[in-house]
Amino acid sequence: MSMAKTFRGGIHVPESKNTKDFAICEFPSPKVVSIPMQQHIGAPATPLVKKGDSVKIGQVIGRFDSGLSCPVHASVSGVVKDVEMRPSYTGFGKTAHVIIENDFKDEISEEVKPFDGDIYNASIEEVTEKVKEAGISGMGGAAFPTYAKISSAVGKASDIIINCAECEPYITANHRLMLEEPETIINGAKILKNALKVDSVIFAVEANKKDAAKVLSENIGDEKGLKVVILKTKYPQGDERQLIFALKGVELPAGKLPADVGCVIFNAETASAVYKAMKTGMPLVKRVVTVDGDALSEPKNIRVPIGTSYEDIFNFCGGVKENIGRIISGGPMMGNAQWSYDSVVMKNTSAILALSEKEEKKKSEGNCIHCGKCVSVCPMHLMPNYLAAFSKVDNKEMCEKFNILSCVECGCCTYICPGRVPIVQHIRNTKAQINAQRKKMAASAAEKM
């Protein structure tokens, strides 16, 4: 057997895939959902409903049509209780939330219509339109609007990569989906393949999910152009740059899109959502979420309506334990800590983790001992130790010389650092400042013109 494909750098994290044998279970319809108008990269959607309106499942409740954005749909049927501004899940700024009280009638909107015709012969325009109307955005975490990604690949991509790496610890949502509904992922990939007129679809699966790879292979059968490739289990294998490198041996230059090197990448569940939107017309109103963490009583994989609160989910999973320290939306490497149980499931919420506080006692930042471990694990081949040191003294010029803007913030450096220096946190801070500065300069330059 040949060596599993991989990339240079990265880390081996304890996998903690405790839920890999837990079948996806349907989450009981919640009493209330709070649906954020921004769950995607781009402009927030404008709410189309107001207090007192009746809505049905799949009905558009928010959209913004000029520029990059994604429509948002009701995930339950009922009455709009309120439209209010709440803090966004990243902690920065506020987002409008449409709050719907469930009437438990589960009525489906008349707007929900399957694609009229053969879904495997749909044109690129038809697929793009349907995907856009279904409000699909990247479900692996990045939340880039899928219709825009498809458009960017037209005429450029020669390979579709279905990202089934799921390299973050704990998360098994994609793993379970591959085992339980492999045909939806494969059919979604086939729709995209035909629409984009490409010859090759690669399902990239990490070696710790060989059972899922087998199921995918069996379901693909002898379908031409579709194949499953096993990748070494290593974080961040699911990062699109590392994925392309592992599969094609090409380093995607900074500032370029995967389409520029002939690839377009979709998350496994995103592909499944594309299929469902085409087949049934149902937009993205539910997703699979792994609920886990050492401070959670009953870890589960659940299929849950968008907008369901963490409080409802934790209660469904037996509650959290006394020693809870943080709750994380997403994986422990790149997920966002949440400040309240009022946080809700969004289109890109692949996991919700309740982590205990047992970690090392909180102490002041440690010292860099210049061991070089961060340099050897950095998948972008940067020198994180120097970036952190220059960031600490606010030397942006040196940071830029040391290529700080190439950092993808995967967190390998902070994870591995024996001195407990919050390396990526320092880098992130400086990156944000540099980007803000550039934006300001560009804006003032535009003004002068």
Partner 1 sequence: MTDNIQTRKFLKMSASPHINSPINTRIIMLDVIIALLPILVWSIYVFGIRTLWITLISVASCVVFEYIYRKILKKSNTVGDLSAVVTGMLLAYSLPSTVPLWMPALGAFFAIVIVKQLYGGIGKNILNPALAARVFLFISFSKELSTYAVPHSSDVVAGATPLALLQKGTIPETGLFDMFLGDMTGCIGEISVTLILLGGIYLIARKVITWHIPVSFIATVALLTLVFPAQNAPNVSFMLYELCSGGLMLGAVFMATDYATSPVTKAGRLIYGIGCGLITVFIRYFGYPEGVSFAILIMNLFTLALDKITAPVKFGGGNKIGEKK
Interface residues for partner 1 in 222-241 (CB under 8 A)?
241
Structure tokens at 248: 């094609």
- Interacting residue with partner 1 among 25, 68, 369, 442 (CB under 8 A): 369
The vertex-73 CA angle with 68 and 77, nearest 5°, equals 170
- Interacting residue with partner 1 among 2, 52, 249, 364 (CB under 8 A): 364
Helices (DSSP H) in 110-239: which residue ranges? 124-133, 146-153, 173-180, 182-196, 210-220
- Interacting residue with partner 1 among 69, 301, 308, 338 (CB under 8 A): 338
C-beta of 42 vs 422, nearer to partner 1: 422
CB of 357 to partner 1, least distance (A): 8
State the residue for tokens 């729709």: 191
CB of 10 to partner 1, least distance (A): 11
CB of 251 to partner 1, least distance (A): 5
Find out whether 356 and 321 touch, Cβ atoms under 8 Å. Answer: yes
Among positions 246-285, residues that touch partner 1 (CB under 8 A) are 251-254, 256
C-beta of 168 vs 181, nearer to partner 1: 168
C-beta of 69 vs 349, nearer to partner 1: 349
Scanning 47-55, 132-140, 151-159, 313-321 for contacts with partner 1 by CB under 8 A, the matching segment is 313-321
CB of 352 to partner 1, least distance (A): 12
Scanning 35-43, 192-200, 339-347, 440-448 for contacts with partner 1 by CB under 8 A, the matching segment is 339-347
Nearest Cα to 172, choosing from 212, 138, 202, 142? 212
The vertex-148 CA angle with 144 and 152, nearest 5°, equals 115
CB of 376 to partner 1, least distance (A): 8
**422 lies in the site for partner 1, by CB under 8 A:** yes
**381 lies in the site for partner 1, by CB under 8 A:** yes
**368 lies in the site for partner 1, by CB under 8 A:** yes
Among positions 22-41, residues that touch partner 1 (CB under 8 A) are none
Binding residues for partner 1, how many (CB under 8 A)?
Answer: 75
Burial 366-381 (b: 16+ CB within 10 A, else e): eebeeeebbbebbbbe
**333 lies in the site for partner 1, by CB under 8 A:** yes
Helices (DSSP H) in 221-339: which residue ranges? 240-248, 268-280, 310-316
**210 lies in the site for partner 1, by CB under 8 A:** no
20 in the Ramachandran plot: left (φ > 0), alpha (ψ -120 to 50) or beta?
Answer: alpha
- Interacting residue with partner 1 among 143, 391, 402, 430 (CB under 8 A): 402
- Interacting residue with partner 1 among 212, 332, 346, 349 (CB under 8 A): 332
Scanning 39-47, 60-68, 273-281, 332-340 for contacts with partner 1 by CB under 8 A, the matching segment is 332-340
Give CA–CA dist 293/323, Å, rounded: 12
Scanning 50-58, 130-138, 266-274, 424-432 for contacts with partner 1 by CB under 8 A, the matching segment is 424-432
C-beta of 37 vs 355, nearer to partner 1: 355
**420 lies in the site for partner 1, by CB under 8 A:** yes
Structure tokens at 103: 């009437």
**299 lies in the site for partner 1, by CB under 8 A:** no
**93 lies in the site for partner 1, by CB under 8 A:** no
CB of 397 to partner 1, least distance (A): 11
For residue 399, CA distances in Å to 383, 426, 431, 439 come to: 10, 11, 9, 18
Nearest Cα to 168, choosing from 75, 238, 102? 238
Asked if the bond preceding 236 is cis, omega within 30° of 0, the reply is yes
C-beta of 195 vs 328, nearer to partner 1: 328
DSSP 3-state assignment of 218? helix
**183 lies in the site for partner 1, by CB under 8 A:** no
Residues 6+ apart with CB under 8 A from 326: 337, 338, 354, 355, 357
Other beta carbons less than 10 A from residue 434's beta carbon: 16
C-beta of 13 vs 195, nearer to partner 1: 13
Among positions 110-149, residues that touch partner 1 (CB under 8 A) are none
Residue 439 exposure: Cα atoms within 13 Å on the Cβ side:
6
- Interacting residue with partner 1 among 192, 198, 271, 382 (CB under 8 A): 382
Find out whether 21 and 208 touch, Cβ atoms under 8 Å. Answer: no
